[in-house]
Structure 1
Amino acid sequence: MMAEHMDEVEQVADAAESWEVVATKEWFSGRVISLRTDTVVMPGGVTADRDYVVHPGSVGVVALDDRNRVLLIRQYRHPARRLLWELPAGIRDVPGEHPVDCAARELAEEAGYRARTWHTLVDILTSPGMCDERIRIFLARDVEPIPEEGNSFVREHEEADMPVVWVPLEEAVRKVFTGKIHNSPAVAGILAAYVASADGFKGLRPADAPEA
């Protein structure tokens, strides 16, 4: 029984599989996202319509300093009607840009920091029942502030008044479990970093690990 159980556990891994799409209708196309309906062939040959949001993908950064504190920013999110504490993050909107380069750019632009050591921390699908957005979250260490003259990015709109704080990682975990932090990449990144810290981050994938 134990061997059978182990075999089942080893088979638990997400797999890329695309069911046949026989028709597609795009209802809306905006600056970042679009809304689409696919008619998909289900098991048994029947078809069903599936509505979803098409998204270019994102990156997020868990930046840890030498005191094991995580960098968080606060940003207004209008759909949620909340000011949320989040990781530095952004949309993959530069053609051909490697995800880790995108992450480094977002860390610099949103928080004014750079890092010398990067690893892939975790990959998440934010809401796979209604959106195809993928987020790769990186762990950034050996972090230092960028001199003001070296960062020419101009914040605007929601980013214009975006405070940056350093929170002890264990305290950030407590804030997740007490309902003080809700942003999904922040929750996933904070918990993943805390677990990964148990072996000194030795089990993490390199920053250029292939995307599944």
Structure 2
Amino acid sequence: MKNLTEETQSTTEIFKGNVIALEIDTVRLPNGETATREIIRHPGAVAILAITTDKKMVFVEQYRKPVGAILFEIPAGKIDAGETNPLVTAKRELEEETDYRAEKWQRLTALYTAPGFADEVIHIYEATKLTIASNALKLDDDEFLNVHLLSLDEAKQLIGSQKIVDAKTVFAIQHFELNYNNY
């Protein structure tokens, strides 16, 4: 088996913002040559497949500036400083974005969103036995969204019309479909 590891020789920070940082690493390749790698550093995120008692999934609809479109996604958010357990973040995000709380939580997986250039990992949870928290969303000042409850068929139609296009949400819908009879 060939050694595939790249050894970092140096790192230059190009940008550090509120959500991401951009670094350029000079690496030694397995063959001894050097190359550069542009890397986006991200603190990580969570996403929640929240399922109601009548087998509907909770979605948020929001404008996503990087793709210039209004999309439907499962609730999600960035892990904030000081949050060492992603489940804490998931519970906070579900309530802030949808006003739901869940009695039952299950970790489904963790996925790298774009490992070719970013270290962001997203922890995906399933939340069931939902209740309304306060009848008031707790959105960030720059966050605007609509909450929707969708059936499996409705969610699949939104995939077909390209209103659902992100990997975490497609994964969640597939998980829901595969486990539909267990809910």
Query: What is the CA–CA distance in structure 1 between the aligned matches of 2:159 and 2:18, rounded to whole Å?
Result: 32
Match of 1:28 among 15, 18, 25: 15
8 Å contact from structure 1 (residues 73, 163) kept in 2: yes
8 Å contact from structure 1 (residues 32, 56) kept in 2: yes
Deviations 1:122-147 (A, max 9, x none): 22111111111000110000011112
Match of 1:194 among 151, 172, 177: 177
Secondary structure of the equivalent of 1:56?
Answer: coil
In structure 2, what is the equivalent of residue 153 of structure 1? 138
Using a 3 Å threshold, how does the CA distance of structure 1 residues 189 and 144 change in structure 2: closer, same or farther?
Answer: same
In structure 2, what is the equivalent of residue 95 of structure 1? 82
Query: What is the CA–CA distance in structure 2 between the aligned matches of 1:18 and 1:176, rounded to whole Å?
Result: 37
- TM-score of the superposed pair, with normalisation by structure 2: 0.89
Match of 1:78 among 65, 77, 81: 65
Query: What is the CA–CA distance in structure 1 between the aligned matches of 2:97 and 2:71, rounded to whole Å?
Result: 14
2:171 aligned with 1:171: no
In structure 2, what is the equivalent of residue 3 of structure 1? none
8 Å contact from structure 1 (residues 170, 194) kept in 2: no
Query: What is the CA–CA distance in structure 2 between the aligned matches of 1:181 and 1:127, rounded to whole Å?
Result: 18
Query: What is the CA–CA distance in structure 2 between the aligned matches of 1:155 and 1:23, rounded to whole Å?
Result: 37
Shift of residue 177, structure 1, vs aligned partner: 4.2
Instruction: Calculate the aligned-residue CA RMSD, in Å.
Output: 2.0
Secondary structure of the equivalent of 1:107?
Answer: helix
Query: What is the CA–CA distance in structure 2 between the aligned matches of 1:117 and 1:20, rounded to whole Å?
Result: 42
In structure 2, what is the equivalent of residue 117 of structure 1? 104
Using a 3 Å threshold, how does the CA distance of structure 1 residues 194 and 44 change in structure 2: closer, same or farther?
Answer: same
**What percent identity do the matched residue pairs reach?**
33
Shift of residue 154, structure 1, vs aligned partner: 4.7
8 Å contact from structure 1 (residues 73, 111) kept in 2: yes
8 Å contact from structure 1 (residues 122, 189) kept in 2: no
Tell me which amino acid in the other structure corresponds to 1:188: F
Runs of at least 4 residues of structure 1 off by over 6 A?
A: none
Query: What is the CA–CA distance in structure 1 between the aligned matches of 2:109 and 2:160, rounded to whole Å?
Result: 19
Query: What is the CA–CA distance in structure 1 between the aligned matches of 2:77 and 2:35, rounded to whole Å?
Result: 33
Bigger shift: 31-40 or 93-102?
93-102
Deviations 1:143-190 (A, max 9, x none): 111123xx6835422x23x11110012431343245331122211222
Paired positions, count: 180
- TM-score of the superposed pair, with normalisation by structure 1: 0.78
Using a 3 Å threshold, how does the CA distance of structure 1 residues 165 and 154 change in structure 2: closer, same or farther?
Answer: closer
8 Å contact from structure 2 (residues 6, 30) kept in 1: no
Query: What is the CA–CA distance in structure 2 between the aligned matches of 1:83 and 1:152, rounded to whole Å?
Result: 19
Match of 1:37 among 18, 24, 31: 24
Gaps of at least 5 residues in structure 1 are 1-16, 202-212
Tell me which amino acid in the other structure corresponds to 1:191: Q
2:125 aligned with 1:142: no
